[in-house]
């Protein structure tokens, strides 16, 4: 695949049009625009499936669509299965000599449709070895149905189904490590990315599309409505997530892990928490202990990534 030549990309047609109904400040459309621009390189024809969720309901309001690629709307839980069928049909047509274009099959889902109710469908598609790239836009809750907790919701966060009050201080459980779960399927490529670093994100998309077999990208997608921050701060939220190592940027290719971004000075997780209203209650005296627990969990996961990288490099 081609590298991310930003000048070339700026001259390419947008495959996600403006005028959709996403909330002001939503990071999802920013990420999807980057993903589609990167995927269409080298005369690749993009076909996408999207699970019910924020990006689906905001970009396909009947009778209109913001997508300039063939798009299949799937139920919440089955986008990986649907795109598997499309990819299998494509292989059959090529074998019969009825179709010769290069096609990049993308399956797109939010964290609710990926971490939780779509995990079985995703796992099956990965195990069968279909040639597609799954993109999860992770906004850390079921945002478009009322900000309910998901498996991606971080420990301590306030949601409508894990509210903070006198009995409970928000969600008690830690965030599920979905990228590690996917990597355990021994797929050829899995990675985490963020739209505030577009070159890194688009290079990972191009790498995934160019690899034969199932690939996976987990993309951070801050939500001003659910995270409770000003809508113009989404890219700052992304940057702060990577600078605190709450959201690590890394890739696993052929089983070898590489950390793509290591902050020169790792910021305390407290800075991340205080930037969002969903964590405001943690700064009450009776809940301060949770901040230390969250910091310890972030440090543990970060050190594990660095250790795995060192081991894969033989250091």
Beta partners for residue 108, in sequence order = 50, 135
Q: Which domain holds residue 44?
A: 6-312
d(CA 9, CA 6): 5
What six digits make up the tokens of 314? 């033989």
pLDDT of 299 > 90? The answer is yes
| Cα dihedral across residues 296, 309, 179, 30: positive or negative | positive
Q: What tens digit of pLDDT does each residue of 72-87 get?
A: 999 999 999 999 999 9
Q: Say how far apart CA 235 and CA 55 lie, in whole Å.
A: 18
Residue the block writes with tokens 């290069």? 102
| Residue 257 resides in a domain | yes
Give the count of beta carbons closer than 10 Å to the beta carbon of residue 180.
14
pLDDT tens digits, one per residue of 227-275:
999 999 999 999 999 999 999 999 999 999 999 999 999 999 999 999 9
pLDDT in tens, 125-160: 999 999 999 999 999 999 999 999 999 999 999 999
- The pLDDT value given to residue 1: 46
pLDDT tens for residues 93-134?
Answer: 999 999 999 999 999 999 999 999 999 999 999 999 999 999
pLDDT digits (tens, 9 = 90+) for 151-205: 999 999 999 999 999 999 999 999 999 999 999 999 999 999 999 999 999 999 9
Q: 284-294: per-residue pLDDT in tens?
A: 999 999 999 99
Beta bridge partners of 67: 16
CATH number, position 254: 3.40.50.970
Please indicate, yes or no, if residue 1 is contained in any of the structural domains. no
Residue 24 lies in a domain: yes
| Cα 27 to Cα 49: distance, rounded to the nearest angstrom | 19
Task: Using alpha carbons only, give the angle 96, 99, 101 rounded to the nearest 5 degrees.
Answer: 140
Express as a percent the part of the chain with pLDDT over 70: 98
Q: At 4, is the pLDDT very low, low, confident or very high (cuts 50, 70, 90)? A: low
Look up the pTM and report it: 0.96
pLDDT at res. 192 = 98
Query: In which order are the strands placed within the sheet that holds 250-253?
Result: 71-74, 45-51, 103-110, 133-138, 215-220, 189-193, 250-253, 256-259
Q: CA distances (Å), 264 to each of 166, 237, 315, in order?
A: 39, 18, 21
Looking at the domain assignment, is residue 118 inside a domain?
A: yes
Give the pLDDT band (50/70/90) at residue 10. Answer: confident
Residue 42: the pLDDT is 74
Number of domains in the chain: 1
Residue 213 lies in a domain: yes
Inter-residue contact 187 to 180 (CB < 8 Å): no
């Amino acid at each position: 695949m081609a590298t991310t030549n930003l000048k070339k990309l700026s001259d390419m047609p947008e495959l996600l049009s403006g005028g959709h109904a996403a909330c002001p400040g939503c990071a999802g459309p920013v990420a999807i625009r980057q993903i589609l621009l990167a995927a269409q390189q080298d005369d690749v024809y993009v076909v996408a499936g999207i699970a019910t969720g924020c990006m689906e309901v905001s970009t396909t309001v009947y009778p209109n669509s913001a997508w300039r690629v063939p798009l299949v709307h799937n139920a919440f839980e089955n986008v990986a299965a649907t795109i598997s069928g499309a990819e299998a049909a494509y292989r059959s047509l090529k074998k019969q000599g009825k179709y010769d274009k290069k096609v990049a099959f993308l399956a797109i889902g939010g964290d609710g449709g990926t971490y939780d109710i779509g995990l079985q469908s995703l796992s099956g598609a990965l195990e069968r070895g279909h040639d597609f790239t799954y993109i999860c836009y992770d906004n850390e809750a079921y945002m478009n149905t009322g900000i309910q907790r998901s498996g991606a919701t971080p420990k301590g966060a306030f949601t409508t189904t894990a509210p903070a009050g006198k009995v409970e201080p928000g969600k008690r459980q830690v965030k599920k490590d979905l990228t590690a779960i996917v990597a355990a399927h021994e797929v050829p490529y899995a990675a985490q990315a963020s739209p505030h670093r577009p070159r890194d994100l688009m290079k990972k998309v191009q790498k995934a599309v160019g690899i034969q077999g199932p690939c996976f990208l987990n993309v951070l997608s801050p939500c001003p409505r659910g995270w409770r921050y000003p809508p113009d701060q989404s890219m700052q939220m992304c940057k702060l997530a990577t600078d605190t190592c709450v959201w690590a940027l890394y890739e696993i290719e052929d089983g070898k892990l590489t950390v793509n971004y290591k902050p020169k000075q790792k910021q305390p997780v407290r800075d991340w928490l205080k930037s969002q209203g969903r964590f405001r209650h943690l700064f009450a005296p009776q809940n301060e202990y949770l901040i230390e627990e969250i910091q310890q969990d972030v440090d543990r996961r970060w050190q594990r990534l660095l250790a795995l990288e060192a081991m894969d490099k033989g250091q």
